[in-house]
Amino acid sequence: MSEREIPGELAALRASIDNLDAALVYLLAERFRCTQQVGHLKAELGLAPSDPAREEEQLQRLRQLARESGLDPAFAEKVLAFIIAEVIRNHGIIAEAVSS
C-alpha cells in the first residue's frame, strides 16, 4: 500500500503518535536540562556521577508508574536504563571538564 492509500484511521493514529512524540522530545529535553544541572552540582561538590541508591529508587518508582499507566514495566525499565546510562555518561564528561 503506497503513502497515498493510507486508511483514515491509520492516518489519525499516526497524527496522535506524532503529537505524543513531540511532547516526549520536549519532556526529554527538559529532563536533560535538569540532569545537566545535577551534573554540574555533583562535579562542584565532588559527588560521584552515578548514585546506585537513587537509581534503584527511580527504577522501583518507575515500575509502579508503569503498572498504573498500563505500560509494560519491563519496557519502561529498559527505556529508563537507557536514559540513565546517557545521563551518567554526561555527568562523567562534566566532572572531567570541571576537574581539568
Site residues (vs a copy of itself, CB under 8 A): 1, 3, 7, 9-10, 13-14, 16-18, 20-35, 37-38, 41-42, 45, 47, 53-54, 58, 61-62, 65-66, 69-72, 75-76, 78-80, 82-83, 86
Sign of CA dihedral 27, 28, 30, 35: positive
Distance CA 7, CA 40 (A): 49
Please state the closest distance from residue 39 (CB atom) to a copy of itself, in A: 10
C-beta atoms surrounding 50 within 10 Å: 15
Q: Which is nearer to a copy of itself, 32 or 50 (CB)?
A: 32
Contact of 84 with 42, CB cutoff 8 Å: no
Please state the closest distance from residue 6 (CB atom) to a copy of itself, in A: 9
